[in-house]
Each structure stands twice: as structure tokens, then as C-alpha cells.
A and B are shown apart, each in its own frame.
Chain A
């Protein structure tokens, strides 16, 4: 089935056309013009300044200013510098990068070329999660085409800039989406995140200065170069410019991908674009940005989907993966599923994460079984507090936040399980 967004904008405008995935088809739509412009008419520093000015935020979950991140790379360097494309998309609820890889690999490569030129990287490693076989094939095919046409290699687009791309497939570990876990994995090791400092811009892939950006982040770059920072700022909010790809899943009529400006109200996405709740039921809660992000209750869906506004509601944009749950949903079961995932995927380095994820999961399961006690709710929150902000990487936070969110907004569900000694949500999704 063709994976085409239900709502498109500049990034996904041509996604219905298969040819857009080929070099010729992509160039026909103006592809690689931005790379030509950057590599031949702009100084690397100007590219960084332009992207900074655009306000582009990383689309991998943390939302850091992309141009600023690029500026951390040493300008002068005796050693090779690397760029890494994080295509290890594994955040539950997220599938936008997969569609970008499948439908527009050249759009990604063009963004990579511009970024590589800006930071002075000689090689880009595209780290694609192991399960994404088809997307990886598409990227490898596009890379081969690009080499063939001189868009990669010793003299990119005739500009004299040399650049190589290596496609690297992961092997099934969520933690490799964390940028230093990814670097370890790229180096042939277990994907265990590194202590920081040093940061990747100083000591990254294979010990060299490295910048890691998400697939979608790269894809925005050619449009910024072509059309300017002001144009880009015409989309989205003051603090969060541009469009992004919202992935909507769960109990909606029309699940799918939606390219919309940042700041679009969550209720608009769920009820207008995604067609509302299936079966005429009511919404109960929505996870707004991938599973790591705390859930929002039905009453808070007016929130604009941008970090600055979501933070005020105690959650974040994350990867823009929106999971919608209807009124039948048992939030303890949701907690079981979420905590199982984080238990399964913890790399196991840090005490709090290795032990805390398992403990959270065991308590969730016990409450769902009907063997919960009223103290358990406090213990859950206490474990989450002990995990949050205390570990090498943000995985433990990502495991703690959803638990906090569920108990903040759906404590009654938990209390009801404890009180009745069973799960009262007979119509809920099955575990």
C-alpha cells in the first residue's frame, strides 16, 4: 500500500508520485537545486547561519535548534568530521521517518549534502533501524544513483566538495536511537549510550567530531536553503517554525501521516484530519509525541502541537507520534504496555533504569491482575522520581514520564483496579 500522507505540505507534496523517489524524478521537481546553491554559492558558515535563523528544531524528539547544533562542530579540524543521519526510528507511535525514507530518499540525501557541507563532514553514516529493510533498500538504491550521477563522491555536483555516504543497518535495539547509543552501535558495539562529556561534536563517531540529525530534520533543510528562513518561519509558531509530520494512530477513523504546521491544535489533528474517534465513541486520552511523552486527557486536546505549549501541559512534542485512546481504554493496560516496552529496551547500564523499568512493569502488571494495593500508586511515582534525571541518557526519563502522566490524569483508573481487585474495563483493548 502506498504510504502517502493524508495532508501534505512542502515536504510531502510529491509523495503520491513514485518517481519522486528516483534521482531523475526528484530533480524534475527541483531536487538538488538547494544543494547546488549551498555548495557553490554559499560559505559553510552562511548555511549554518541560515538554518539557525530559520529556527529549525530537530525532529528526532529533543527539539534542539539544528543550526546551533551544527555550530558546535569545530570549524577547523585536523581530523575527519562525520555526519550521522539518525534513521533508527523506534519510538512507538512514530513512523514518519520510515515514510520519508521510502518515498523521498533523495530529499534526505540533499539535506545531508547541505548539512555535511555546512559542518565540513567528509562522510555521512545513515543509521537505519534493522527492521526497516525496505526503507533501507530504497536509501541504498538512491545512494547508488547519487554516486552514479556525481551527486556523491569526490566532486559533489561539480562543486569540488567531496562527500561519501555509508548506509548502516541497525539490528533491533530502541536505545540506538539515542545519539551516543547510535554511535556505539555504528562502531560495532552494544548500543549503550555514552557518558557526556565529551559530546559528539568533540568526540563522536570513531572518535571524531560528529553531528547527528534525524531524517526529517535533514529533509527540511533543502527547502530552507531554497526558499529562505523567512519563508520557513511562515509555517508554525514563532518558537517552533515549519511543518512537521504528525503520525496518528490508535482509535481514530483515519490513522495516518499528516504534514501540518507546528502549533496545529491537537484536537484539529485528531478530530478533523484523522476523522475523530472510530465507532462514535468518545476520546479518553492522547499521547501527543511518541510513547515517551506523558499522556493528555480528553479535556486538554486544545493544546497547540509545539513544544512551548505542550510543556505547559506537562508533556512534549517528541517525535509527533500521536496515539489516540477512546473511552473504552484501560489506562492500567496502557501502563502495562508502555512499561513492558521500556523494560525490554533499557540497555541495562544505569542502575535506576535497568532496575526501575522492570519494577514499574511488575507493579503495573500486578495492578492490572487485580493484586494491586493502594501504596503501589505512590511506589510507582516514587520509582519514576528516582529514575528521572539521574542516568547517562534520557531513556530513564522517557520510561518515567508516561507513568507520571498516567497517574496524573488517570489515577482513578488505577484506584478502581485496586479497589475492585480486578480490571473494570471489560471493553478495553486486550492485553
Chain B
């Protein structure tokens, strides 16, 4: 269920756009912040609020990298593996981090704490290697620093 608080935030977002559908991305961020992912039930509910058909919402959810249609671990830690970062050892770092957390890329840790991922370019090319942990960038990483960042995650 989308809470009344989130619902009123979504309605406020709808006011900011010439057509209320413009608020779909912000609205998906809001429901994802509340539920951790966007379930099909949430999609139905959101579609109802925004006057859309559920498939119109679902196809948007599935198009973008930052929306999830299934439950997620508590944290996402993604190492950029695009060319500038790979040139500076990002893939080696990622493999070492896989070993460190004991889970492969895309496979959440058993305790549901974390999933490692790889990202395409995040705009930190000169500060490689880097990783994005949830919303925050961590740049100019070495293995020890990266491990300590992951270890500090609750």
C-alpha cells in the first residue's frame, strides 16, 4: 500500500508538470523509497493515482536501471566497469570485492545486506576506480578503502 504521505507527495509532483504523467519517474522514486522496490500491486496503485494503465507504469519500471520490480537487499554497491574505470583496474577490484563479500555480482549476500553490481559509466572517469553505494559516490578507490566502505554498511 502506498502510504497517504507518499500519496500526497506524488500528487504534489503531479502539479509540477504540464501533464501529470510527467511525474511518473519522481513518483516511482517515492514509492521505491517507501517499499524498497516497485511491486506489481504498487504499480496498479500508482497507475490508479496517476490515471494511467498499469502496463504504462510497468514498462517504465522495466526500462530504467534504477527501478526494481522485485525486493532488493538493503544496499547496492556498484563498481563502474566502463572503459575509463576498467583501464584503471575496476574489474580487478570488483572481482576482489566479490571474494570479500562472498557473493557474485548480482547475487545478494545471504544476510540480505548487500548486492554487488557493476555499472556503466557514472561520470567519474578521472577518479577511477569508483563505486556507487546506494546514492553516494566513492572515488579513487583502492581495495582496502573499498572493503572498509562495504564493511561499514549495516
Contact = CB atoms under 8 A, between A and B. Distances in A.
A pairs with B: yes
Interface of A: 1, 3, 80, 89-95, 97-98, 123, 129-134, 166, 168-174, 185-191, 205-206, 208, 247-251, 255-257, 287, 291, 321, 323, 325, 329, 334, 337-338, 341, 344-345, 347, 429-431
Interface string B100-125: 00000000000000000001111111
Nearest to B84: A249
Nearest to B125: A249
8 contacts: A93-B84, A174-B120, A188-B25, A191-B63, A191-B64, A250-B87, A251-B88, A291-B82
Given A131-B66, A187-B22, A92 B121 contact: yes
A189 B123 contact: no
A256 B126 CA distance: 5
Contacts of B82: 92, 291, 337, 341
A47 B137 CA distance: 38
Interface string B58-85: 0110011111000000000000011110
Contacts of A129: 123
A376 B16 CA distance: 52
Interface in B4-38: 16-19, 21-26, 28-29
A187 B19 contact: yes
Given A98-B123, A130-B66, A188 B24 contact: yes
Contacts of B95: 430
Contacts of B16: 166
B98 interface: no
B25 A206 contact: no
B52 to A, nearest CB: 8
Which 6 A-B pairs rank lowest in CB-CB distance, beginning with the nearest? A172-B65, A188-B24, A249-B125, A171-B64, A249-B84, A255-B126
Nearest to B83: A337
B126 A334 contact: no
Given A188-B24, A206-B18, A95 B123 contact: yes
A92 B125 contact: yes
Nearest to B91: A430
Given A206-B19, A337-B86, A249 B128 contact: yes
Nearest to B94: A430
Given A166-B17, A249-B128, A93 B26 contact: no
Contact of B126 (A170, A247, A287): A247
A257 B87 contact: no
Contacts of B139: 1
A185 B123 contact: no
Given A337-B82, A341-B82, A247 B125 contact: yes
Contact of B83 (A3, A205, A323): A323
B18 A131 contact: no
Contacts of B17: 166, 188, 206
Contacts of B64: 130, 170-173, 191
Contacts of B45: none
A134 B137 contact: yes
B147 to A, nearest CB: 19
Contacts of B24: 188-189
Nearest to B18: A206
B87 A94 contact: no
Contact of A94 (B63, B65, B125): B125
A338 B132 contact: no
Given A173-B63, A206-B19, A429 B91 contact: yes
Contacts of A287: 83
Contacts of A338: 83
B137 A323 contact: no
B67 A171 contact: yes
A170 B22 CA distance: 11
Nearest to B64: A171
Given A206-B17, A337-B82, 12 more contacts: A1-B140, A90-B123, A91-B121, A92-B82, A94-B125, A171-B29, A172-B66, A190-B60, A191-B63, A250-B83, A256-B126, A430-B92
B29 A131 contact: no
Contact of A168 (B26, B60, B88, B136): B26
Which of B66, B120, B126 is packed against the most chain A CB atoms within 10 Å? Answer: B126
Contacts of A80: 18
A1 B136 CA distance: 13
